[in-house]
Structure 1
Amino acid sequence: MWISRDLEKSWSQAASLPVKILRGVRQCGKSALLQKLGGDSRQHITLDDLQTRRTAEEDPALFFEQYPWPLIIDEVQYAPRLFPEIKKRIDDLRRARPQSEKVLSRSPLWLTGSNQILLDQRVRESLAGRAGYFSLHTLSVAELQNGLEGFSVKECFLKGGWPELYVTPSLSPVEYLNNYLLSYLEKDIVMSAGILKVSAFEKALGLLGARVSTLLNASEIAAHVGVQATTVQEWLGLLERNQIVFLLPGYFHNLSKRLIKSPRLYFLD
């Protein structure tokens, strides 16, 4: 079953830089989308595979000899040594113009990443001016309405927009989301950001979930979980950059008030 994504058209029509990067949380459909758009013309590699990741880290040049462009690489942030090699190869192609113009115009390298903090750091260091960013979220209501027969608003409330819950209807949404919290947040947020007070972080997540759409009060959350308000603000920054939550600022005609008044917090799905 395939549910068309709104991003498909803009991805194909976007002005082509040598690298296209698709950001989004785990399991929102990044890999499936790029495989569909790339078809049989692009090999698909994932760095979730430890052996492939090891090859990419130990010998980036050999990695690209084994997996020539055009190429899709999933979870590219796990192999930071790939980025300087990508930069080198792009610069070599640019120097070889006009012979390489056609290759570069087709964006020969498509990358995905679920950990925005690590990914942004790698891109800033090596691929500035060479890569275009795109963001993919979980399925929207419009995508579900257009792609599912017998679309149910109630089902959408229970499952959100997580593709796997629609592809595999027998999956329990509660079990799936609980496992997602344990695996994704601990793997991609807690470990990579070096969060030490894991239990306090998890408790803060629960409190934030119970306060969706209310005015954000970091000091109150901090008092309940036993950390400083600045720590909660840092956690919120991590969640926001990784597209887990977003902060909706208040609307005031006075711009200064918009900037200083407390925002409302929402989870993206």
Structure 2
Amino acid sequence: MKSRQFETTVRQKLLQTPAVVLLGPRQVGKTTLARTLAIDWPGGAVYLDLERPADRLRLEDADTYLRAQQGRLVILDEIHRAPGVFEVLRGIIDDNRQAGIRSGQFLLLGSAALALMRQSSETLAGRVAYLDMAPFNVMEATAADMADNTLWLRGGFPDSLLAADDSQSLDWRRDFIRSYLERDVPMFAPRLPAETIGRLWTMLAHNQGSVLNQARLASALGVANPTIDRYIDLLVDLQLVRRLRPWAGNLGKRLVKSPKVYVRDSGLLHGLLALESLNDLLGHPVCGLSYEGHCLENLIQAAGSLRVPYFYRTQVGAEIDLVLEKGGKPEIAIEVKRSMTPSPEKGFALACDDLQITQRYVVYPGQERIPLRHGAQAIGLLDLAALLAQG
């Protein structure tokens, strides 16, 4: 399971653009992937971990040092530690273009998506590609002969997924959550209280997949409504939480306008709720919505950047768990049912009719494809993820 499908994507992007920004939460495998690329990169590679003082010292005169690496791939890990480097990179990339060198120069790794994109886009516009690296997905886990229930319980972070047993996996996730609150929150948002954000994160876990009720959360935490937005923004920026927007086209219907919020990695969700074993999870009220979030996260990842994810819900009960829109048109409707005898609700059919969607799928834990009423098809998570990945 050491080789990841995503490695091919990164290689291809580096062959097309001067710089690639690889975004993803800590411990997701960015550094491992980068070091793997460095082993056989044509012309060689140099790796700098900017959390190490010795490596940051090399960039005191960044322009001179980086120009001296001409012809090699330069990997800068934890790039947020040296934001001033972006201006230097722009000059080097532009000079290299004049010399006919247009690809494979810099690989930048970072954990805070929005902050890093803001820093880089101001100086590297037109010179950089962005890639989001997620934890292991169902296709990768299946290729490694790992059961989907294991992936669902432990989540896709490598050290959690590959732990010796469920207890060690949960210990790793608890330590991971603690380190984010004690280290990353103060680093990326020094003015926000880490303890309160931790409480919010846990509250979101208890309300996995629910429509966001800011007023209720604000009241429970003793803060103002806009403050909840800022806290969730941080968790979204760190790629720990997904804010799934409602589809809001003009259909003349009363639509739900608040987003749904999911803890993105199912293992972290279960860590926040102290669920160690599959039996613990199956007996917990979050079970159904946990499975829904697990499926949606895998399917959104498989669908790629050309399909935009939404959910759809009207005030009268028509609902779709996941709508995938392409080119401004709703294309695919997906409902998730943790049942071996899945059946779409009438509200799902009404919603699909509202949006004129003909590709209708109900994801369930089985493997057989089964025709269902309302023009839907029951399909396993792995099969639908593979179908979406094909484009």
Same-fold call, TM > 0.5?
yes
1:139 has 2:142 as partner: no
**Which of the numbers 34, 48, 61 marks the counterpart of 1:45?**
48
Instruction: Tell me which protein shows more helix as a share of its residues.
Output: 1
Runs of 4+ with deviation above 6 angstroms? 255-260
Task: Return the letter of the residue paired with 1:208.
Answer: L
2:158 maps to: 163
Name the residue aligned to 2:191: 195
1:245 and 2:247 correspond? no
**C-alpha spacing 1:87/1:145, structure 2 compared with 1 (3 Å):** same
Instruction: Give 1:209 shift.
Output: 1.0
Once the two structures are TM-superposed, the CA of residue 154 in structure 1 deviates from its matched residue by 3.2
Q: State the alpha-carbon separation in 2 of the partners of residues 248 and 126 from structure 1.
A: 29
**Residues 214-268 of structure 1, C-alpha deviation per residue, up to 9 Å, x if partnerless?**
1111111111011111000111112222211112233466368798611211111
Check whether the contact 1:60–1:81 (CA below 8 A) recurs between aligned residues.
Answer: no
Given the alignment of the two structures, is residue 85 of structure 1 paired with residue 66 of structure 2, yes or no? Answer: no
Identity over aligned residues, as a percent?
29
- How many residue pairs align between the two structures? 259
Instruction: State which drifts further: 225-234 or 66-75.
Output: 66-75
Q: Residue 31 of structure 1 aligns with which residue?
A: 31
Aligned to 2:2: 2
Q: Which residue of 1 aligns with 2:10?
A: 11
Provide the secondary structure at the position in 2 that maps to 1:43. strand
SS in 1 for 2:7: helix
In structure 2, relative to structure 1, the CA distance for the partners of 1:199 and 1:127 (3 Å cut) is same
User: CA, structure 1 residues 67+186, in 2 after alignment: closer, same or farther (shift >3 Å)?
Assistant: farther
CA contact (8 A) 1:87 1:127 kept: yes
Instruction: Name the SS for the 1:172 alignment partner.
Output: helix
1:220 equivalenced with 2:219 (yes/no): no
- Equivalent pair of 1:115/1:189 in contact (CA under 8 Å): no
Say whether the 8 Å CA contact 2:77–2:108 is kept in structure 1: yes
User: Which residue number corresponds to residue 60 of structure 1?
Assistant: 62
Give the residue type in structure 2 aligned to 1:226: G
- Residues 200 and 226 of structure 1 are in contact (CA less than 8 Å); yes or no, is this contact kept in structure 2? no
> Unaligned stretches of 5+ in structure 2?
266-391
Tell me the TM-score normalized by structure 1: 0.86
The one-letter code of the counterpart of 1:237 is D
RMSD between aligned residues? 2.5
Q: Which residue matches 1:74?
A: 77
Equivalent residue, structure 2, for 1:266: 262
Structure with higher Rg: it is 2
* Aligned-partner residue type, residue 19 of structure 2: V
Kindly tell me: are residues 27 and 216 of structure 1, through their superposed partners in 2, closer, same or farther at Cα, counting changes over 3 Å? same
> Taking structure 1 as reference, are residues 213 and 45 closer, same or farther at Cα in structure 2, changes over 3 Å only?
same
Structure 2 CA distance for aligned equivalents of residues 72 and 182 of structure 1: 28
Q: Separation in 1 of the partners of 2:27 and 2:139? A: 19
**Secondary structure, in 3 states, of the residue corresponding to 2:210?**
coil
Instruction: Tell me the residue number matched to 2:305.
Output: none
Given that residues 25 and 240 in structure 2 are in contact (C-alpha distance below 8 angstroms), is that contact kept between their aligned partners in structure 1? yes
Instruction: Tell me if structure 2 keeps the 8 A contact 1:246–1:267.
Output: yes
Q: 2:112 touches 2:239 (CA, 8 Å); kept in 1? A: no
**Structure 1 counterpart of 2:250:** 254
- Name whichever of 244-253 and 137-146 sits farther off: 244-253
Shift of 1:21: 1.1
Which residue is equivalent to 2:102? 104
State the alpha-carbon separation in 2 of the partners of residues 261 and 54 from structure 1.
49
Gaps of 5+ in 1: none
Distance 1:64 1:203, change over 3 A: same
Q: Is the 8 A contact 2:185 2:192 kept in 1?
A: no
The CA deviation string for residues 151-200 of structure 1, in whole angstroms up to 9 with x for no partner, is: 22332233100112344436712221121112224422333222343322
Deviations 1:100-139 (CA, angstroms, capped at 9, x unpaired): 32x323x211111112243123202321111111111000
